[in-house]
Each structure stands twice: as C-alpha cells, then as structure tokens.
C-alpha cells in the first residue's frame, strides 16, 4: 500500500541558509495532519525534538509517522566522508528509535559547488566529476550507507538533486552503476529528475529495481525554460517557483502512479514543494497538493 507524507521543506525548512523565517515544527506537524498526510520526514537536525521520546510523543499526538531524514554529505571530498558518516549515523539512531523501517536520504552537499549551483538545470559534461572524483564519490556514498546500516540497521537511499554532483539522468545512472544495489537504494525525485533534464516516467521505469523511496515534486516547464535562458542559479530558480504545486507543472503524476502500482510499490510517497518564506501559504499549498493526489486516486487517511 502506498502512503502519502509531506516534508518540512514544503514549509520552507531547508538545509540552505536562505532569507526569511520558516514555521516552527509544531505548526508544520499540525498543518501536515490537518491537510491529510500520514507521515513526515525529519527536516534539519534540531528542527524537531532530537530526544526520541519527545519526538515520538509529538508525532503520536498527530497520528503521523516518521519515515526518513535528509543527510547531505560533501561526497566529492574524501576528507568529509568520516564526519558525514558520523552525522548520518547520529540521525539514523534517532530514526531507528522512533520509526518503522525508515531511511537515511543521502545526498551530495547541494549548493556547495559554485559551478553546479550556477548551472543547475543546464549541466554539461564539463561541469561533472572526473573518473577519479567519481570513484571518491561512489566510495563515500557506500561508506556512509554501510556505516549507517551496520550501526543502526537503517537503510540508505541516495537523492539525486539539482545543484549537486548527481543531477542529470546520466549522472544518476553512473552512480547507481558503481554502487552496491544491496547497500544503496535510490530516492527518486520526479521534480529534480525533470529539471535535471530527464523524463520522470522513463526514469522511474529505468531505475525501478533501485527505487526504495519516492518524492513527488513537480517542475514548471515555463519557469525551467526561463531559468535556462536567463542563466539563473539554483536558488533563484527555487525562489521563482520552479518546483510548483503538484499538477501545475510538467510531471505526469498519473503515469508515475500507474507504474508504481505495476511495480507493487508499497512504500512512502513524499510530497515536496519548497515553499520558501514569502512565497505563499504552505498549508494552503499542502492542501491543494493533497487534494490533487486524491483526484488521481491516492485516498486520504480516514479520520
């Protein structure tokens, strides 16, 4: 059975230092529950309580499940692997104490590299990693995933992400080809895959055997085209609404749903919309996103 969650990033809680103040965790969780979601990702460390008893009490009070936590690591830098793994393990210990079958959502430290950030949505081969850097990156991803599993029993999925070193379909395929499928799964994000130059329907089919976790994010085609024409960096694209409400962009969510049904996918789908402070009302967007999903066949939880 597919279950629908949301994430704190839909309320502007992001790993990046951006202008404005996002909502507190109590408001975010209250509004997730009110708009018809069954679960949440953790958000940045310290956004929600990091004491497992306190965190579980907050989630249980709203009948929400915790399912995953984002863990950015500068994987192209071998000196960052040890500290990155330590942070991921710390986070996974919290997940393991609170959640059922959660995931660490590992990603490159997106936004750290100036070239990748400036060229998000229009990456060329010369913007990518060398063969030696790829080896470092892949080894780092596997090392984090192994440490997390060995110390906590939590599995790890890799999140391809614009403004990081795994953005394009070719880069996603490259990383998967050089990592152990029993150790590292894929968090498939429809919006990032499309802005990175791919067809989410084709990508979901192609990588079905590695997909353990799914993010439903839309991508507005006109804003994407403008971002490429005007050479916006990643953050400007986000501020302009590249990741719009579900159903307003170009991602074919009914087709994705059909494929997931064919695959008998029984995990979580996480709605993400990156509503930054000042861009609109996150609760209203969360409600419209959940209503849209209900309109294509994803039932809301019974009350």
For residue 6, pLDDT beyond 90: yes
Distance CA 138, CA 102 (A): 22
pLDDT, tens digit, 9 for 90 and up, residues 281-294: 999 999 999 999 99
Instruction: Give pLDDT, residue 13.
Output: 84
Confirm whether pTM is higher than 0.85: yes
Mean pLDDT of 248-269: 97
Q: How confident is the model at residue 23 (pLDDT cuts 50, 70, 90)?
A: confident
Question: Could you tell me whether strands 155-159 and 103-108 are parallel, antiparallel, or unpaired per DSSP bridges?
Answer: parallel
Mean pLDDT of 98-103: 97
Average pLDDT, the chain: 95
Distance CA 39, CA 29 (A): 9
Please give the distance of CA 253 from its chain centroid, rounded to a whole number.
16
CB count, 10 Å around CB of 218? Answer: 25
Look at 280 and 65; give whichever has higher pLDDT.
65
Token digits of residue 88: 């991921």
Residue written as token pair 């395929």: 173
Q: How confident is the model at residue 75 (pLDDT cuts 50, 70, 90)?
A: very high
For residue 19, pLDDT beyond 60: no
CB 200 within 8 A of CB 160: no
pLDDT, tens digit, 9 for 90 and up, residues 195-231: 999 999 999 999 999 999 999 999 999 999 999 999 9
Instruction: Give pLDDT, residue 15.
Output: 56
Please give the distance of CA 87 from its chain centroid, rounded to a whole number.
18
Residue 103's contacts (CB-CB under 8 Å, 6 or more residues apart) are 67, 68, 69, 95, 154, 155, 156, 157, 185, 187, 212, 213
Point out the least confidently predicted range of 11-20, 49-58, 205-214, 267-276: 11-20
Distance CA 136, CA 96 (A): 28
Selection from 167, 239, 220, 218 nearest residue 197 by Cα: 167
pLDDT, tens digit, 9 for 90 and up, residues 153-181: 999 999 999 999 999 999 999 999 999 99
Residue written as token pair 């968090």: 187
For residue 21, pLDDT beyond 90: no
For residue 239, pLDDT beyond 70: yes
Point out the least confidently predicted range of 18-27, 47-56, 265-274: 18-27
Distance CA 149, CA 245 (A): 34
CB 247 within 8 A of CB 226: no
Residue written as token pair 């008998």: 264
Instruction: Give pLDDT, residue 266.
Output: 95
Burial 49-63 (b: 16+ CB within 10 A, else e): beebeebeebbeeee
% of residues, the chain, pLDDT over 90? 92
Distance CA 5, CA 159 (A): 17
Q: How confident is the model at residue 276 (pLDDT cuts 50, 70, 90)?
A: confident
% of residues, the chain, pLDDT over 70? 96
For residue 18, pLDDT beyond 70: no
Q: What CATH architecture is 3-295?
A: Alpha-Beta Barrel (3.20)
Look at 13 and 148; give whichever has higher pLDDT.
148
């Amino acid at each position: 059975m597919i279950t629908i969650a949301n994430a704190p990033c839909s309320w502007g809680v992001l790993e990046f230092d951006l202008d404005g103040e996002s909502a507190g965790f109590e408001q975010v969780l209250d509004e997730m529950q009110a708009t018809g979601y069954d679960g949440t990702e953790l958000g940045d460390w310290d956004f929600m309580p990091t004491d497992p008893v306190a965190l579980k009490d907050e989630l249980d009070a709203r009948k929400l499940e915790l399912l995953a936590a984002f863990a950015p690591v500068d994987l192209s830098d071998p000196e960052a692997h040890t500290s990155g793994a330590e942070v991921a393990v710390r986070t996974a210990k919290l997940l393991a104490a609170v959640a059922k079958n959660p995931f660490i959502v590992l990603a490159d430290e997106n936004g750290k590299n100036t070239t990748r950030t400036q060229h998000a949505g229009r990456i060329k081969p010369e913007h990518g990693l060398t063969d030696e850097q790829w080896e470092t990156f892949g080894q780092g991803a596997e090392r984090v995933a192994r440490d997390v599993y060995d110390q906590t029993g939590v599995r790890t999925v890799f999140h391809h992400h614009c403004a990081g070193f795994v953005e394009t379909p070719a880069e996603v395929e490259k990383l998967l080809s050089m990592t152990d499928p029993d150790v590292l799964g894929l968090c498939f994000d429809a919006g990032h895959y499309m802005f990175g130059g791919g067809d989410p329907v084709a990508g979901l089919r192609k990588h079905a055997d590695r997909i353990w976790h799914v993010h439903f994010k839309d991508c507005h085609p006109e804003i994407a085209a403008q971002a490429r024409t005007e050479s916006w960096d990643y953050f400007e694209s986000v501020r302009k609404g590249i990741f719009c409400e579900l159903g307003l962009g170009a991602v074919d969510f009914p087709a994705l749903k059909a494929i997931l049904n064919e695959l008998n996918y029984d995990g979580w789908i996480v709605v993400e919309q990156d509503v930054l402070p000042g861009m609109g009302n996150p609760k209203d967007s969360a409600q419209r996103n959940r209503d849209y999903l209900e309109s294509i066949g994803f039932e809301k939880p019974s009350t």
